[in-house]
Amino acid sequence: MRLSEFIISILDIILCNLASAIITSLFARLYPELYSKKFQLVL
């Protein structure tokens, strides 16, 4: 694997994590009761 491919894959992982974190926090703000139920299901 070349260095550029490695960097791109790391950036891809970081962007996916950021996107999911942003969506999760937005969802938690908009629908706190739904989110707490979903979170309990996950746990």
What integer pLDDT is reported at residue 14 of this predicted model? 96
What integer pLDDT is reported at residue 33 of this predicted model? 78
Dihedral over Cα of 11, 14, 17, 21: its sign: negative
5 against 38, higher pLDDT: 5
What integer pLDDT is reported at residue 15 of this predicted model? 95
HEC assignment per residue over the chain:
CCHHHHHHHHHHHHHHHHHHHHHHHHHHHHCHHHHHHHHHHHC
- pLDDT tens, position by position, 14-40: 999 999 999 888 888 888 777 677 666
